[in-house]
Structure 1
Amino acid sequence: MFPFFCYDGVHSQDDPNSTQTDNLILVRENKSWDEALSFCRKHYRDLVSAPTEQVQHWVNRRAQNASTPHVWLGLNYSCKLHFWFWLDGTIIGAEKEARECGGKGAIQSGEEQSWVVLHETEKLNFICSKSVGD
């Protein structure tokens, strides 16, 4: 499990399939982690990386509006190097064991919003990040 914080960001709805706040897009389509990654890279920039408390706050708010019990994030585990990292390259911690191999990072969409490791083939909503100015 990883630490998580709350942020009360500005909320607007631009699209019936997504909720947009700042540069974060909650996509309410059910996709595997790899499918979500491809979708985000094609339509926006990437699956969201949340290396700072501020971004974690916004991710928390977006995840509350998901239609699945968990939401994919751009959090990945390196089985060879035994650490978690965000897709933006930020390393968030070493692990003592590699039981997370094949797992990807997600957050619960309910009020508790714990960070969890799920198998990459599960079909979930996901959060994309977009470039500022897009």
Structure 2
Amino acid sequence: MVTTLMARAGPGWRQNNNKTKPYMPLVLIKEEKTWKEALRYCRENHVDLVSVENERVQRWVELIIKPASTDNVWVGLRHTCTLSFWFWVSGNSVCYQNWAPGNGTGVEDCSNGERSGAVQSGSGKWISLLENQTLNFICSTV
């Protein structure tokens, strides 16, 4: 199931039937996939997993995750165990941050596999998870 959301506030606006409506270029996919499967799905069907690079996008994410069927939702946040840092799949480094306490700011335990970032459906805070877990996910459409 796919949930698209038209935000009520934000800089993006779309003309539809002679009415101007706010537009948020994100889509919640209510299928459960691993992080790599979610990334592939977004790249094949939309643009990419969402990169939450500022507070505006964070607010959009918090709106769109409300109907999620999993407690956490994948975003395009990836950790490299070799170099020990987080980055967005867009290629940008993580400047804006919204980590839940105890997540993302210390040394990651990579002993059980690679880690990727998810957003908690309730709080909107970011968490670090093993990428083999299956979750809903958010794709960007632009």
For Structure 1 versus Structure 2, the TM-score category normalised by the shorter chain is 0.7 to 0.9
Contact kept, 8 Å, 2:2 with 2:27, in 1: the verdict is: no
Task: Select the residue among 107, 113, 116 that pairs with 1:97.
Answer: 107
Point out where structure 1 has 5 or more consecutive residues left out of the alignment.
1-15
**Which residue identity does 1:60 align to in structure 2?**
E
Q: 1:79-116: per-residue Cα shift (whole Å, max 9, x none)?
A: 12211011111212695524256111001112x23211
Who is 1:40 aligned against? Answer: 42
Provide the C-alpha distance between the structure 2 equivalents of 1:96 and 1:74, rounded to a whole number of angstroms.
19
Contact kept, 8 Å, 2:84 with 2:108, in 1: the verdict is: yes
Point out where structure 2 has 5 or more consecutive residues left out of the alignment.
7-23, 96-103
Task: Select the residue among 112, 115, 128 that pairs with 1:117.
Answer: 128
Contact kept, 8 Å, 2:26 with 2:141, in 1: the verdict is: yes
Superposed displacement of residue 19, structure 1: 2.5
Question: CA RMSD, aligned part only?
Answer: 1.9
Superposed displacement of residue 71, structure 1: 0.1
Contact kept, 8 Å, 2:29 with 2:139, in 1: the verdict is: yes
Deviates more, 1:30-39 or 1:19-28: 19-28
Q: Please give the secondary structure, in 1, of the residue aligned with 2:5.
A: strand
Task: Select the residue among 8, 31, 37 that pairs with 2:33.
Answer: 31
TM-score (norm 1): 0.78
Superposed displacement of residue 121, structure 1: 0.9
Provide the C-alpha distance between the structure 1 equivalents of 2:73 and 2:106, rounded to a whole number of angstroms.
25
Who is 1:18 aligned against? Answer: 3
Aligned residues: 115
TM-score (norm 2): 0.74
Who is 1:128 aligned against? Answer: 139
Provide the C-alpha distance between the structure 2 equivalents of 1:18 and 1:95, rounded to a whole number of angstroms.
31
| Percent identity (aligned) | 42
Contact kept, 8 Å, 2:43 with 2:49, in 1: the verdict is: yes
Provide the C-alpha distance between the structure 1 equivalents of 2:30 and 2:4, rounded to a whole number of angstroms.
8
